[in-house]
Amino acid sequence: MNIQGTRNKRGIIEAQLTWVFILIVGVIILLFFVGIAQKQKQISDTKNAAEILQQLDGILTGAEVSTGTASLVNIPKLDIELTCDAFTIEGVTKQLDARVVFGPDLIQGRQLVMYNLDWSVPYRVTNFLYLTSPNVRYVLVGEAEQELESLLPEYITYESIPTSDNFTDKKNYKVRFVFWDKQGNIPDVRGDISAVSINDNSASFNNGLTWSPSIAYEGDAFKVGAVFAENSEQFNCTVKKAEEKKRIVTELYQDRINLLKSKYSAGEACRELLDINLTAFYDLESRNYDLQLQSCPTIY
Amino acid sequence: MKKKAQLKIWTTIAILIVFFVILMFGFIFYTQVEKISFERTQREAEARRSIDVAQVLTNLPELQCSVGAVERGICFDYYKLEVAEESINDEWLYYYGMFGYSDIEVKDLSGSGKNFTLYENQGDKTSYTTGFIPISIYDPIERLFSFGVIKVKSYYGQ
């Protein structure tokens, strides 16, 4: 019997098996750590997105209360998705609740433009907030320039052209054509192209295919909203939100007027001037002025 | 020799088991630290929430005063406060989106001394942070300002 040979063979096999064992265990350990690292990255990304969302929410609250101001905020390079009811960063969503916000459905880039205007009818109902990115290109066609330029905030990227034939593509991720009181032609270019036709009391949107039915509104704040709103669905939704707020504020103002009226005796000038129904009265501005002249509490 | 080889393999396995146990303890410790850090961030966010609520509240047209038809900042109209108590309660769901889980009171300190409870919603929350904001309260009939304070109690946790 060749005992030495058998021993050698056993030693070689044992060495090989040891290495196989080491390889298997090594791969298991590696996979374990890679799994942990991936899971940790996911958690970290979600946590980051939630923190950024929280901070952005605070910034939006601040921006909403300072009327007529535009600001440019530096943000991390994350896509912000915006709808009528919520905004989302990296899959984490925050509700907008009662806030009336207009903006494109996707805001890309490292900067965010925030602007707000108050909506008054003539008493202030709420502040509208407008969000966009300097990377979105707004093209005012024809008369739209004279009618809208003074309402638009600084920091946005916009230009004026006489007709849509004069448009040159600059590879922006999003382009919005703005027409005044006509449903103009949209150039056939690649990318996210949309259009809006605005006049003093209604707006119609085009997503590149067809024009939507007109949506009625009142006030300049809505005109600006139509420039920034992504489409007719978002605009319609925000109009409804604003109308709901108007109903609530009007009811409260009416209750206040009735309470003030009750503090005066019959025949007093203030009582007579305060005897109005806000939903049916059409010249609130002059009535408010009359109340001021008589040193009575004003409606607004 | 066979026993020696078996012992060697068992030693290797034991080392691996100990290694993974230490790793597991390390991971548990790390997740606990992350959890505490996250809870602290949540508490800070909740503290900021009461400030956000106060900021929104002081700019509501439903409460803001106007003198000579011009809106004044950090000022509430006395008669709007009187009607807002009931009005906000009637539209509770609408204002829940604005105020969330919080209690909001306005106290007229130097005028009528009245306490206006505008909104109450603790829900099932157990902890809270409180913010006080001074405010003017305007009486449009007497044309007088008085001192007031807004108390915002913001609830969080379960």
Domain chopping of chain A, boundaries:
50-243, 244-293
Q: Do A255 and B61 touch (CB under 8 A)?
A: no
The confidence score (pLDDT) of residue A166 equals 87
**Two structure tokens written together for B157:** 């946790």
ipTM rounded to 2 decimals: 0.82
Residue ranges in chain A whose pLDDT is less than 50? none
Contact by Cβ (8 Å): A23, A17: no
Percent composition of chain B: helix, strand, coil (DSSP 3-state, to 5):
50, 30, 20
The confidence score (pLDDT) of residue B101 equals 92
User: Residue B111 sits in which domain range?
Assistant: 2-156
Q: Do A256 and B77 touch (CB under 8 A)?
A: yes
Confidence of residue B153 (pLDDT cuts 50, 70, 90): very high
* Phi, psi dihedral angles at B146 (to 5 degrees): -130, 165
Chain A contact present for B132, CB below 8 A:
no
Task: Provide the number of structural domains found in chain B.
Answer: 1
Residue to substitute from B31, B38, B81, B87, interface A, most A β-carbons within 10 A: B87
Cis? peptide before B134, omega within 30° of 0 = no
Give me the residue from A123, A251, A288 closest to B61, CB to CB: A123
Predicted model pTM: 0.84
Beta bridge partners of A205: A196
Cβ neighbours of A250 (radius 10 Å): 15
The confidence score (pLDDT) of residue B81 equals 96
The confidence score (pLDDT) of residue A15 equals 75
**Two structure tokens written together for A88:** 């989302």
Count how many pairs of residues, chain A against chain B, have C-beta atoms within 8 Å: 76
Q: Name the residue with higher pLDDT: A18 or B91.
A: B91
| Smallest Cα distance from B17 to chain A, Å | 12
Which residue of chain B comes nearest to A11, CA vs CA?
B5
The confidence score (pLDDT) of residue A53 equals 84
The confidence score (pLDDT) of residue A2 equals 59
Give me the residue from B34, B71, B141 closest to A260, CB to CB: B141
Residue to substitute from B21, B30, B52, interface A, most A β-carbons within 10 A: B52
- Mean pLDDT throughout B103-122? 93
Instruction: Label residues A161-187 b or e (16+ Cβ within 10 Å = b).
Output: beebeebeeeebebbbbbbbeebbebe
The confidence score (pLDDT) of residue A249 equals 96
Computed over every residue of chain B, the mean pLDDT equals 89
